[in-house]
């Protein structure tokens, strides 16, 4: 089956919401993936910040295979050890005083957070605040909180009062949040907007504002969590703790799992029967997440992520090219900033040369490789980047 055969069948049988993706992948090994035509690529996007251990990591394979063979599913009518172990492990990494609800995806983690903060809110609280250009998922509650008008507006109204403020602007947030606010939903760095960090001190300012007004502080670390920035969680770099934390993506290393973590009074805010999910906390997904956390620890991947991230940033900054404006981000979560809106061409020309990167906005490409990437692999990409940029410029000129 060739890529083009598969793409044709995809188009005929799958809904058109993703368009037809240009490449059909069949195999992954470490940081490399292969397409249906046998072409090899360096995977610099990791399934959008998901495959943190790369592809086919023996620890993940073993944990998943063992759990699938032992007990693949229980539902939540029964306790199983993996979910308890994983919750305990996360609470340990977060510093205690917390409880966890497991989901299957990021958007479900945010839906759980939404219900949790509504349950915990006192009387008179009726609106939410979130950031312009923020992204929290595609299901209705998460979408209502998503600050990208083009993807939210066609599906409203949502029956929720959500007020949007500019990302990273503490003054605007302070104006927007008072004692009638249920919760503030934010990402520490906006991933889908193009890896855009908030200014230093912003999270601490949000924490103080929420303490003052009694609004809950929900931090969406679905993209930034589980080592992506070189910390277990991005907020730990700023020594700030939210009231509710949501996780997914890198947590399962490729298996679908998300988590909503409530701290302090939010740990026990749900009453029995308030929420549930048939597959949430599934034993196989929990076994995968335990293997991810264990491997990040045993292989020293937090420190490695910091070192590799700095190397990547430094080497990108060292390239002098008219299409390249620079980079931003932290750890192995970076944006290549362009001087012109040619990101789609850059993505395409990178793929032609065997590199998978993601055009996240017209003038920005996202790089979020497996955390196990090596300096040699970064070097190969950096060496090819000027040629990729030349080819993208040429393609853009031809198109005009």
Ligand X SMILES: Cc1ncc(COP(=O)(O)O)c(C=O)c1O
Q: Answer yes or no whether residue 188 interacts with ligand X by CB under 6 A.
A: no
Choosing from 135, 185, 233, 263, which is the catalytic residue? 135
Contact between 90 and 261 under an 8 Å Cβ cutoff? The reply is: yes
Whether residue 158 lies in the annotated active site: no
Q: Answer yes or no whether residue 145 interacts with ligand X by CB under 6 A.
A: no
Whether residue 220 lies in the annotated active site: yes
- Considering only residues 69-128, where is the footprint of ligand X by CB under 6 A? 105-107, 110
Choosing from 47, 141, 191, 253, the residue that interacts with ligand X (CB under 6 A) is 191
Q: Answer yes or no whether residue 195 interacts with ligand X by CB under 6 A.
A: no
Choosing from 187, 231, 243, 363, the residue that interacts with ligand X (CB under 6 A) is 187
Contact between 22 and 348 under an 8 Å Cβ cutoff? The reply is: yes
- CB-based contacts of 222, cutoff 8 Å, min separation 6: 106, 109, 110, 136, 137, 187, 246, 247, 248, 249, 258
Taking the C-alpha atoms of residue 106 and residue 110, their distance in angstroms, rounded to an integer, is 6
316 is in an annotated binding site: no
Taking the C-alpha atoms of residue 100 and residue 103, their distance in angstroms, rounded to an integer, is 10
| Both structure tokens of 254 | 């490729």
Taking the C-alpha atoms of residue 228 and residue 369, their distance in angstroms, rounded to an integer, is 9
107 is in an annotated binding site: yes
Q: Answer yes or no whether residue 137 interacts with ligand X by CB under 6 A.
A: yes
Shortest gap between Cβ of 24 and ligand X (angstroms)? 21
278 is in an annotated binding site: yes
Contact between 305 and 372 under an 8 Å Cβ cutoff? The reply is: no
**Segment contacting ligand X (CB under 6 A): 35-43, 150-158, 173-181, 219-227?**
219-227
Helical residues (DSSP H) of the chain, grouped into ranges:
3-13, 46-49, 58-70, 81-94, 106-120, 140-144, 149-152, 170-176, 202-213, 283-298, 301-317, 343-352, 375-399
**Segment contacting ligand X (CB under 6 A): 55-63, 156-164, 215-223, 306-314?**
215-223
Q: Answer yes or no whether residue 197 interacts with ligand X by CB under 6 A.
A: no
x-or-dash pattern for ligand X, window 31-50, by CB under 6 A?
-----------------x--
Give the strand pairing for 127-131 and 181-186.
parallel
Of 245 and 392, nearer to ligand X (C-beta) is 245
Choosing from 3, 52, 189, 223, the residue that interacts with ligand X (CB under 6 A) is 223
- Rg for the chain, CA atoms, rounded: 21
DSSP state, 238? Answer: G
| Both structure tokens of 400 | 């005009």
CB atoms within 10 A of CB 172: 17
Choosing from 249, 263, 266, 381, which is the catalytic residue? 249
Taking the C-alpha atoms of residue 91 and residue 103, their distance in angstroms, rounded to an integer, is 16
Shortest gap between Cβ of 255 and ligand X (angstroms)? 12
222 is in an annotated binding site: yes
Q: Answer yes or no whether residue 192 interacts with ligand X by CB under 6 A.
A: yes
Of 221 and 393, nearer to ligand X (C-beta) is 221
Taking the C-alpha atoms of residue 69 and residue 75, their distance in angstroms, rounded to an integer, is 17
Cβ-closest position to ligand X: 106
Number of chain positions touching ligand X (CB under 6 A) = 15
Choosing from 101, 102, 135, 333, the residue that interacts with ligand X (CB under 6 A) is 135
Shortest gap between Cβ of 93 and ligand X (angstroms)? 19
- Considering only residues 233-272, where is the footprint of ligand X by CB under 6 A? 248
* 324-330: strand order across its sheet: 324-330, 333-338, 364-367, 358-361
Q: Which residues bind ligand X (CB under 6 A)?
A: 48, 105-107, 110, 135-137, 187, 191-192, 220, 222-223, 248
Any idea which residues carry the catalytic annotation? 135, 220, 249
Query: Which residues belong to the annotated binding site for N(2)-acetyl-L-ornithine?
Result: 138, 277
Query: Which residues belong to the annotated binding site for pyridoxal 5'-phosphate?
Result: 106-107, 135, 220-223, 278
């Amino acid at each position: 089956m060739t890529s083009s055969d598969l793409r044709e069948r995809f188009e005929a049988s799958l809904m058109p919401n993703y368009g037809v993706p240009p490449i059909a992948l069949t195999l992954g090994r470490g940081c490399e993936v292969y397409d249906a035509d046998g072409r090899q690529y360096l995977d610099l996007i990791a399934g959008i910040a998901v495959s943190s251990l790369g592809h086919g990591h023996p620890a993940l394979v073993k944990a998943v295979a063992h759990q699938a063979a032992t007990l693949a599913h229980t539902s939540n009518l029964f306790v199983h050890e993996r979910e308890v172990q994983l919750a305990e492990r996360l609470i340990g990494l977060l510093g205690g005083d917390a409880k966890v609800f497991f989901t299957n995806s990021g958007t479900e983690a945010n839906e759980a957070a939404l219900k949790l903060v509504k349950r915990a809110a006192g009387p008179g609280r009726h609106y939410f605040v979130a950031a312009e250009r923020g992204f929290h998922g595609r299901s209705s509650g998460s979408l209502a909180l998503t600050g990208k008008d083009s993807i939210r507006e066609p599906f409203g109204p949502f029956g929720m009062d959500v007020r949007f403020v500019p990302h990273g602007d503490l003054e605007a947030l302070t104006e927007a949040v008072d004692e009638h606010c249920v919760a503030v939903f934010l990402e520490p760095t906006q991933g889908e907007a193009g890896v855009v960090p908030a200014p230093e001190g912003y999270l601490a300012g949000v924490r103080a504002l929420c303490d003052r007004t009694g609004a809950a502080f929900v931090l969406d670390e679905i993209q930034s969590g589980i080592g992506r920035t070189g910390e277990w969680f991005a907020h730990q770099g700023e020594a700030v703790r939210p009231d509710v934390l949501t996780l997914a993506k890198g947590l399962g290393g490729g298996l679908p799992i998300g988590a909503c973590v409530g701290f302090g009074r939010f740990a026990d805010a749900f009453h029995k029967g308030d929420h549930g999910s048939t597959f949430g906390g599934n034993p196989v997904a929990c076994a995968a997440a335990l293997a991810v956390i264990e491997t990040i620890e045993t292989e020293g991947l937090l420190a490695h992520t910091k070192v590799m991230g700095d190397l990547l940033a430094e080497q990108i900054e060292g390239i002098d090219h008219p299409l390249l404006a620079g980079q931003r981000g932290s750890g192995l979560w970076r944006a290549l900033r362009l001087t012109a809106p040619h990101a789609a061409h850059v993505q395409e020309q990178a793929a032609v040369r065997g590199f998978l990167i993601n055009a996240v906005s017209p003038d920005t490409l996202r790089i979020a490789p497996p955390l196990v990437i090596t300096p040699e692999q970064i070097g190969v990409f950096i060496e090819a980047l000027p040629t990729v940029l030349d080819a993208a410029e040429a393609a853009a000129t031809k198109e005009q």
